[in-house]
Structure 1
Amino acid sequence: MTRTAVLICPGRGTYNKAELGYLHRHHADKAALFAGFDAQRKDAGQEEVTALDGATRFSVSKYSRGDIASPLIYASALADAQSLAEDIDVVAVTGNSMGWYIGLAAAGALSAADGFKVVNTMGTLMQQQLIGGQLVYPFTGPEWQNSPHRKTELLDLAAEINVREGHDLGLSIDLGGMLVLAGNEAGLKAFEAAVPVLNGRFPMRLANHAAFHTVLQAPVAAEGRKQLGAELFQQPEVPMIDGRGQIWWPGATDTQALADYTLGHQVVKPYDFTRAVQNAACEFAPDLFIVTGPGTTLGGAVALSLVQCGWQGMTGKPAFKARQAEAPLLISMGDEVQRSLVTG
């Protein structure tokens, strides 16, 4: 019996110490795929992806860099997408932030090689320029109670800081129950000083992350458009949901518009991952939401996004956990046990 699934690809920050060796552990059968990626890296004078994955030591300062993390995450996620069991019918693809690029390849709108080219180019440009930074701050309660009022307060605070002289701050990603804010150092520090510390962790700065999805990335977007042509993009084989919640349909996609969005709006405007997940749920009503590896951190944002729209009657953490225990709805391929539920 076929199981329908929305495939969700992760973004930066998901290849960490525990993920070192991910390609070698799970995808020893995909040497030809990785050889192509390694060749692109070698031609650019960069360390090969398989060498990075096969290293004996992990350091945050190195592996959080855009030119290192991005290609590793792409290779891991795309290989996972190609490893699904035969009874899985992917009815739509989406992703978080950089996961949009991976989703393009998983959906067939970019070839595997061209998807890698896009990810490696953009990740390298981000790292070379490293404009601004990002932080994460939650607005939901411990039982995942949605708090639109608190969310509005935090966004209003960011907007107020943004108009101060010398301060840049704004929404980068709407991430389930979290706000990812981005800006310059003055803007980030002002926000950190204005909000209470939660759980001893938040507000949490993200290492080696630039001010993604804000106007500060305009120079990166412009350079990306110079280096990456619209001819790389083609009709997707399955529907794709972007960072606005918009659906790109097979056979009806304007590939120039897709290139313009990917290398324009998507880089310099806020990314609404919450809406992407909710629209995927409501439009396609899948049996499963499958989050590719590496890592498992995106699963929480998917769960919170579903709870916030009351998907299948789930209105909080207890209801979601009960649903998962009964029959898993959300599968994280970065989790060894869950992975076995959807791989061949």
Structure 2
Amino acid sequence: MKRIAILCPGRGSYTEKTLRTLPAGHPWVVRADELRAEYGLPTLSELDRAERFSQVLHLRPANVSLLIWLVTMLDSHAAMEQDECVAIAGNSMGWYTALAVGGALSFDDGFRLVQEMALLQERHAGGGQILYPLVGDDWRRDAARVEAVKAALASSNGHALPSIELGGFAVLAGTEDGIRHLLGALPQVKLGSNTYPFRLMQHGAYHTPLVQPVSDAALETLARLEFRAPRVTLVDGRGVRFTPWATDVAELVRYTLTTQVTDPYDFTKSVRVVLREHAPDELVLPGPGNTLGGICGQILCAEGWRGMQSKADFEREQAGARSLVRSLRR
């Protein structure tokens, strides 16, 4: 039995390859469909069994968030039955999933948190997010790219802001004017086969003060959720731990519905704390896709974990007998 840490993905992980993966008749799938019906929304089973993938339908925040949440819940449960989970973290929306995976929320309340936040984000839509690499193809920090991000933010007149620290990437957010500014101010660069900067589809200005109305509404709409101390240690987007033996539940609620919504989210720091405080044998990535695989590799290299310094070092470790990162749906 391994000591694992589970890292839950954010909203950008769902693709057409995820269709038809929900196990028909599973109690969690049945219950999620019942809860969706209460909201007057298509069931997750209907979305999962669609003949073809639709960006408009499947990537709508109120749909994709719950599809990712449910797949991640199912994967995490299976991983925790097989190995000892010592810590759980998540990227952005993945924090909400982590709460349910770790037992700080029941299945129903975890569902409601994700569904209500997605609906609130649709209701208060505006602005967006872009992705930009801070490393080169070898995953070593590129000082010129770091400085380009700083300069683009500084020249945005407050319309663009940092959003997520994501391994070797910066996620930046802003108003529509801010996004246009970033797309024009940041020099085009390539990482692998992708060209950056690029805008994340149907993403708002998450983790910035621009979404304060979402936080305000969430405090009222989600006041009845029953938070509790987790069964497994949770690490949030500040690197703060909530443990089974020392959790201030009021602070957990406050962070989830206020700070997590309006302040930058540091996924890099959360993984760093997981590594340094819990030293897991393996980082397990549940849920759709493999969006966090390379990002976790970049964080491990930045940490010098097992002496790794570059992408080649990480790939060599992954090919060995003691792989560090396991994506459950790669």
TM-score, with length taken from structure 2: 0.95
How far 1:157 sits from its partner (Å)?
2.4
Corresponding residue of 1:255:
249
Equivalent pair of 1:230/1:259 in contact (CA under 8 Å) = no
| Residues 1:51 and 2:17 aligned together | no
Which of 154, 174, 185 in structure 1 is aligned with 2:176? 185
Which amino acid in 1 is paired with 2:237? G
Tell me the SS of whatever aligns to 2:195: coil
Partner of 1:340: none
Deviation sequence 1:93-130 (CA, Å, 0-9, x none): 00000000000011000111110110011011112221
Where 1:93 maps in the other structure, the secondary structure is: strand
> Cα deviation per residue 1:276-306 (whole Å; 9 max; x = unaligned)?
1111011100100001021111111111111
Percent of pairs with identical residues: 38
Alpha-carbon contact 2:2-2:84 (below 8 Å) kept: yes
| Aligned match for 2:134, one of 139, 143, 146 | 139
Q: 2:62 aligns with which of 26, 46, 67?
A: 67
Contact 1:230 1:255 in 2 (8 A): no
SS of equivalent to 1:296: coil
**Residue-by-residue CA offset, 1:62-109 (whole Å, 9 max, x unaligned):** 222110110000000001011126441000000000000000011000
**Equivalent residues, number:** 326
Over 3 Å counting, the alpha-carbon distance change for 1:203 and 1:87 in structure 2 is: same
The alpha carbon displacement at 1:159 in A equals 3.0
The 5-angstrom pairing of residues 10-21 of structure 1 reads 10-21=9-20
What's 1:331 paired with? 326
Of residues 197, 207, 214 in structure 2, which corresponds to 1:203?
Answer: 197
**1:148: how far off?**
5.3
Which position in structure 2 is the counterpart of 1:194? 185
Gaps of 5+ in 2: none
Matched, 1:33 2:28: yes
Report the more deviating stretch, 6-15 or 189-198.
Answer: 189-198
Deviates more, 1:8-17 or 1:31-40: 31-40
Residues 1:87 and 1:70: Cα distance change in structure 2 (over 3 Å): closer
* Distance change (3 Å), C-alpha of 1:274 and 1:152: farther
Alpha-carbon contact 1:155-1:171 (below 8 Å) kept: no
Counterpart of 1:88 in structure 2 is 83
Asked if structure 1 preserves the Cα contact closer than 8 Å seen for 2:124 and 2:211, the reply is no
- Structure-1 separation of matches of 2:151 and 2:260: 22
Unaligned stretches of 5+ residues in structure 1: 336-344
Instruction: Provide the C-alpha distance between the structure 2 equivalents of 1:10 and 1:19, rounded to a whole number of angstroms.
Output: 14
The 3-state SS of whatever aligns with 1:84 is helix
Aligned twin of 2:277: 283
Residue type of the alignment partner of 1:18: K
Q: Tell me the alpha carbon deviations over residues 171-222 of structure 1, each in whole angstroms, 9 at most, x when there is no partner.
A: 1111000101000111111111112212352111111100000101100111
Corresponding letter in the other structure for 1:151? V
* Matched letter for residue 295 of structure 1: G
What CA distance in whole angstroms lies between the structure 1 residues aligned with 2:211 and 2:304?
A: 34
Contact 1:22 1:294 in 2 (8 A): no
CA RMSD, aligned part only?
1.4
Please give the per-residue CA displacement for 1:15-60, whole angstroms capped at 9, x wherever unaligned: 111111121xxx34x6211111111110111111111111111111
d(CA) in 1 for partners of 2:139 and 2:85? 28
Q: Residue 6 of structure 2 corresponds to which residue in structure 1?
A: 7
Separation in structure 2 between the aligned mates of residue 238 and residue 91 of structure 1, nearest angstrom = 6
For 1:176, which of 161, 167, 171 is the aligned residue?
167
Partner residue, 1:112? 107
In 2, Cα distance between equivalents of 1:148 and 1:285 = 29
2:7 aligned counterpart, secondary structure: strand
Q: Does 1:271 align with 2:270?
A: no
Q: Secondary structure at the match of 1:121?
A: helix
- Secondary structure of the 2:5 match is strand
**Are 1:67 and 1:127, in contact at CA under 8 Å, matched by a contact in 2?**
yes
Stretches of 4+ aligned residues off by more than 4 angstroms? none
Q: Measure, in 1, the Cα distance between the counterparts of 2:256 and 2:8.
A: 15
Q: TM (normalized to structure 1)?
A: 0.91
Counterpart of 2:99 in 1: which secondary structure? helix
2:120 is the alignment partner of 1:125: yes
